[in-house]
Structure 1
């Protein structure tokens, strides 16, 4: 199935934890995962995991797939492959298991010691990882991550748990979002799903909205609300996202084509609509899940549409709330986040109108990044801006670039300011 057998053979034979056995002697239950990882192609890794041909916790030779990836210095896309494994359920606790992550000196006979100390390879320990990889592995290993995932574990929305390996930070946003989706999965709510993502720029609102439909493998239509001039314009608007498949369908046609089916409508920059009256036509579909898209035409079933609005409403409120906490340097707590959710509704009501807000399922404010999150964002920027960075730069090199970029972080610009700072650092290195 996979083309890069030569890359696999080379990666395996040069790997520090192998004895260079012939290819036919490798004993793995699902060898296609090994081929996918060694091909250095994250899409092939996703493909084999999605197909079910292999599991993310299968062994690759003497190691877990996660340990094999972390200790393989021949990979140019190690961070992305690690994220893919974690997104599909790789268990980071395997890194602490000597049977699944033997030390370089361990012999097969000596790998059974469950009671003795485990000298795991440095690359698989937090201090041996770059800030981005360390962030994702630590996040996947946390109790809160597992508990949050359980909210929608058995529902249609389960694939959305993978978004935490695309979106850095916003753990409380995801928890509250999953709670809302869980209620709908259990039919505890009959109203349509309407979620407003609000707060400062550069903190992941558009990224979450964009990933929503693709992770669920359902159609998405994105409306750029700044282009609307009247109520009629909403239904006649074309999808404006460069990340979606090109389409000649208007929103009305999109909803007709997907009537009674799960689909996503993203209303980007909802508060920037020129005439607030353009939002009036959302009142009925948001409350009843049906409406007439044209005067005199039949009502269309919109009950399964997921409406996602993005907005900068409450931008200043978010920073004021976070700065007013007893210790702003500490991560925000669940109780503090819920308090912020309550505080965010009045500004939305003032901007969009109380009648529209009353039909919104939940308002989710996006919050400033923690230090670890900023470091992870900057590290990912290093990889995205530098060819073969994971082969030419050590985790310590990446961390040094990250630390120099951090002072240039601008909270109101979020991740964009870190990308710019890293870019400037790399230019200075040339």
Structure 2
């Protein structure tokens, strides 16, 4: 018998409750809720204000979008018939045309072969929960593929050096969001250093975590590493290129190469082999935008081959800014690229939901799409998602 807990969680319109039920294993994302799959039940429930968030949670935990095409899991509306070709008349809300741009984007993304193949890269490793990040982060599919490849190699012990990943490129395209979600999804401690505040090497190790999304901590970076010695944890070096004195980065050479650090002279070394170091940077901003514009058809999504070429171009560019000795110890440099039309539409639609609040109850998916189409021309690659959020805000002010 299917467990009723998922039905109650979805009907409660509380995405955290849905996540808790799925996380606990009390119910599966592909359980039936009455005659429907959980995904179909959510999409056809007109009482939900947080439908998009609940759909994302179901997909993040493995809900199969192909169930929407299955008449046994997504029955036709009353009077609907199965055609001679075998396809059935789905409820309108469960078809791509009946979804708002954000929901359509996530459901379509989850249904692609590339998404499944990318997830398989780290399926059996400690890093598996990271596959859920694609339901927090819009776009950057090639970033995730390359990141999962690196993590897969590390988990199979094909690489003995610590993991050091540099996320670079234009502002507003998800670098900080990915870095912020990393430790949270893995359920490991995270320490975020705002590199713009550093004046010396000493400042690095004595810096407190500066992330409003983390639990406040009184530990310095040195204390954090000592407390989590030998354990998996994450250190985010935010805006790494904006450090006042580049010499402040020299103390990262040993931990990034040998997995050992010595925050204080004369003190014993701390084992940091299991630390994942994530740097975020706007280095390569112009390079990424110029490369994007030089492509034969910039309106089309970047191909895997184009992305790998951009990675190769980015590395020497970063080397000029941070120095060859530091960059030689970086596992991979991952440039973030401008959004496709579908990705921009999804970002704008999510902005509508987050900014309009309770007013979204009165907006149909078609209403949301109208607002989205109006703001698309306001996207600036140099500002990324922020330009769309600003345009949506202006549109909603006009509507109100």
TM range (shorter): over 0.9
TM-score by structure 1 length? Answer: 0.91
TM-score with structure 2 length normalisation? 0.97
Residue 388 of structure 1, CA deviation: 2.7
Deviation for aligned residue 1:346: 1.1
CA contact under 8 A between 1:172 and 1:337: conserved in structure 2?
yes
- In 2, the alpha carbon distance for the partners of 1:411 and 1:53 equals 43
With over 3 angstroms needed to count, the CA separation of the structure-2 counterparts of 1:111 and 1:371, relative to structure 1, is closer
1:250-297 CA deviation, whole Å, 9 max, x = no partner?
000000000000000000000000000000000000000002121101
Shift of 1:109: 12
Q: Is the 8 A contact 2:77 2:91 kept in 1?
A: no
Shift of 1:316: 0.4
Distance 1:133 1:389, change over 3 A: farther
Q: Does the Cα contact within 8 Å between 2:241 and 2:321 map onto a contact in 1?
A: yes
Q: SS of the residue aligned with 1:355? A: helix
Cα shift readout 1:318-364 (whole Å, capped 9, x = no counterpart):
01111111111111100000000000011111110000000000000
- Secondary structure in structure 1 of the residue aligned to 2:261: strand
Cα 1:385/1:109, change in 2 over 3 Å: closer
**Native 8 Å contact 1:75 1:390 kept in 2:** no
How many residue pairs were aligned? 396
Residues 165-190 of structure 1, C-alpha deviation per residue, up to 9 Å, x if partnerless?
00000000000000000000000000
Residue 266 of structure 1: aligned partner: 236
Deviation at 1:110, TM superposition (A): 9.8
Give the CA deviation at 1:389.
4.4
Q: Which of structure 1's runs of 4+ aligned residues deviate more than 2 A? A: 107-112, 388-391
Q: Deviations over 1:180-224 (max 9, x none)?
A: 000000000000000000000000000000000000000000000
For residue 386 of structure 1, give the secondary structure of its aligned residue in structure 2. helix
Report the equivalent of 1:351: 321
1:75 to partner: Cα distance: 0.2
What aligned pairs does 1:158-173 form with structure 2 within 5 A after superposition?
Answer: 158-173=128-143
Q: Any stretches of 5+ residues in structure 2 without a counterpart?
A: none
Change (3 A) 1:389 1:185: farther
Following the alignment from structure 1 to structure 2, what is the Cα–Cα distance between the partners of residues 415 and 326?
24
SS state at 1:308 partner:
strand
8 A Cα contact 1:382 1:389, kept in partner: no
Alignment match, 2:34: 61
Deviation at 1:418, TM superposition (A): 0.2
Aligned residue number for residue 88 of structure 1: 61
**8 Å contact 2:137–2:178 — kept in the other structure?**
yes
Determine the C-alpha separation between the residues in 1 that align with 2:379 and 2:261: 45
Inter-CA distance 132–108: structure 2 relative to 1 (3 Å threshold)? closer
- C-alpha distance in 2, partners of 1:118/1:388? 34
CA RMSD of aligned residues (A): 1.4
Query: Residues 76 and 389 of structure 1 are in contact (CA less than 8 Å); yes or no, is this contact kept in structure 2?
Result: no
Take 2:367 and 2:151, find their aligned partners in 1: how far apart are those partners? Answer: 41
Distance 1:328 1:417, change over 3 A: same
Task: Flag the 1:108–1:387 CA change in 2: closer, same or farther, 3 A.
Answer: closer
Specify whether residues 389 and 95 from structure 1 end up closer, same or farther in structure 2 by C-alpha distance, changes over 3 A only. Answer: farther
The offset of 1:407, in angstroms, is 1.1
